[in-house]
Amino acid sequence: MFSHDLMTDEGVVVLGIPIPSSSPMFLSIVAVHVAAGLACSLAGIAAMLTPKRAGRHPTAGAFYYWSLVVVFVSMSALSILRKKRDSRATRGDKSPLVMSKSME
């Protein structure tokens, strides 16, 4: 399902945040991950601020739960896509993720 060949060495910067890959698949999953995280945060706030009774509170809680599931699944997919590249960094090999301009 996931291929390391879909990953590129070049990253991109989106709204000042460095993203370690410019692969369309990776960026799509990041977009889903960020949207689900924002939805999860808003639903959690809504669940906390509404009275605990039938109606808004359980609806917001269910939305929070399923948004959190999407965050977890997208995080897992991103980890699988980056596994090969990130494992080099943990072994101490020089990788684009770890290596800075001064080290070249």
How do residues 23-38 score in pLDDT, each as one tens digit? 888 889 999 999 999 9
pLDDT tens, position by position, 5-21: 444 557 788 788 788 88
pLDDT tens, position by position, 36-94: 999 999 999 999 998 888 888 999 999 999 999 999 999 999 888 887 666 555 555 55
**Number of residues that make up the chain:** 104
pLDDT at residue 100 greater than cutoff 80? no
Q: Tally Cβ neighbours within 10 Å of residue 6.
A: 12
pLDDT higher at 22 or 4: 22
Instruction: Give the domain ranges of the chain.
Output: 4-82
Question: Which run of H or of E encompasses 14?
Answer: strand 12-14
Query: d(Cα 11, Cα 21) in Å, to the nearest integer?
Result: 4
Q: Which position has the token pair 């699944």?
A: 73
Which residues fall within 8 angstroms of residue 77, CB to CB, at 6 or more apart?
A: 2, 29
**22 with 12: CB under 8 angstroms?**
yes
Entry pTM: 0.68
